[in-house]
Amino acid sequence: MSDHRELTDMTATEAVARLRSGEISPTEMVEAVLARIEEVDPLINAVPTRCPERARDRARDLEGRLGDADGGGDLAMLSGLPILVKDLVEVKGVRTTYGSPLFADFVPDRSDILVKTLESRGAIVVGKSNTPEFGAGGNTFNEVFGATVNPWALDRTCGGSSGGSAAALAAGEVHLATGSDLGGSLRMPASFCSVVGLRPSPGRVAHGPGVFPFNDLPVDGPMGRNVRDTALMLDCMTGMHPGDPLSLPGAHNHAAALARKAPRKVAFSPNLGVTPVEPEIATICRKAALRFQDLGTEVEEDHPDFGPARDVFHQLRGFFFSGQFAPLIEEKRDQFKPEIIWNVEQGLKSTARELTWAERERAALYARMVTFFEEYDLLLCPTTVVPPFDVNERYVTEIDGHALDNYIDWFAITYVVTLTALPVLSLPCGFTSEGLPVGLQIIGPPRNECALLGWSLLLEEALGIADLVPVNDIGGKSMKNRKHPGRLE
């Protein structure tokens, strides 16, 4: 193993501990991560934009400040750990394209609130992770950088829209990365790449400024290789900021508060009553959910009534997309992919009556979820209803023989959960007969990321697959798996 692999193979939690102790320096860690990206990324295209000199300057600055009398203060939280930021989020002085030809050469003069928060807690941005155009869709490809592939199978998608972050984590390029999630954009790639992704409660992670600062459907969240690392990342992202009117006060020590007591009772549903699911996916997820029984937890097959949640989400997503992009599309329609145009046109056709209906139905759904969580501690279901598909397919058009008529309904199982505003995590839970990753969606109680992370950690430990990674030895055209139960070397 080369020197940089020793540093990039460890968990984020281990790396930060060694950075805090002075055993390794931020500069050493930055160079190790940059070397790993150079080694691996030509195969997967997860990090098309890199900022090595900015990262090196930042590392040198931190090395002078971490030794201060107060131990570096908030900077000690990550102590110079390199991270990736999704290419929907502005980083001052770093090319930020949003995956769109319209912004192919855009370099912002300020950073997003999220980036400022992470850097105030010792993060070093080494690059931008790839995303589909404006984050729309569950397959990471765009006209600026092309497609990002799945490290577990180079002919398959890594998912989207936080696909670059998920693929980079799986490939060992970085220890932590940011993701964002409107309809499942953080959870789906986590599932496809066998990493952990957390969609936190709206307001938990401050971001912006944006066009719709009061819209609570899109959130930013942490992605890591395991639950502990993801909790660490969340701690470094939380806190109120005056620039985000929905942001919640106070940072929370999720990493130190991970529960050691098993949940009393959890529910599992193979489909939440809203979508077809490939049978193999449902079987793998059910088997994983039942592992809670080994911890003394009662597991029942149940789910709340999601009612017309699919139609509700279509209405609210269309409203959001039309508000974001309608002016640009009127001017430069030929530079948008057809899926975004479809979403915008759906939104522009909505009436006030339809939007008020959607808001009332969403409120009713939330009330049913609150009642449901009076009986259950968690709700479990598949994160994705199909395994990673051909990277050349724009989106899934059929599920287990059921045809779909638009580009988002294949991930209804994640977008209906978005409507609930509950914290939700995707946890690696197994592999298909082809050796492709499967994720379990774990939905937690309202505003309770601590409980969600703690109980997810217990299941992660019971499943025992958190240390499985797709990449170790790199051949000229393929990546080999280490300790992979579903594929031959």
- 25, 111, 129, 161: which is the annotated catalytic residue? 161
| Cis peptide bond prior to 209, omega within 30° of 0 | yes
Instruction: Clarify whether 161 is annotated catalytic.
Output: yes
Check: CB of residue 217 under 8 Å from CB of residue 182: yes
- 111, 185, 247, 322: which is the annotated catalytic residue? 185
Check: CB of residue 284 under 8 Å from CB of residue 320: no
Q: What is the signed CA dihedral for 29, 34, 39, 42, rounded to 10 degrees?
A: 150
Contacts of 334 (CB under 8 A, 6+ apart): none
- Token match 């949940």: residue? 263
Which long-range contacts link 363-366 to residues 24+ away (Cβ below 8 Å)? 364/307, 365/304, 365/306, 365/307, 365/309, 365/312, 365/419, 365/420, 366/419, 366/420, 366/421
What distances in angstroms separate CA 373 from CA 267, 303, 445, one per listed residue? 10, 10, 6
- 86, 128, 201, 337: which is the annotated catalytic residue? 86
Instruction: Clarify whether 350 is annotated catalytic.
Output: no
- Side-chain-side CA neighbours of 260 within 13 Å: the count stands at 2
Closest CA to 192 of 159, 169, 225, 164: 159
Instruction: Clarify whether 92 is annotated catalytic.
Output: no
Q: Say how far apart CA 125 and CA 174 lie, in whole Å.
A: 10
Active site residues: 86, 161, 185
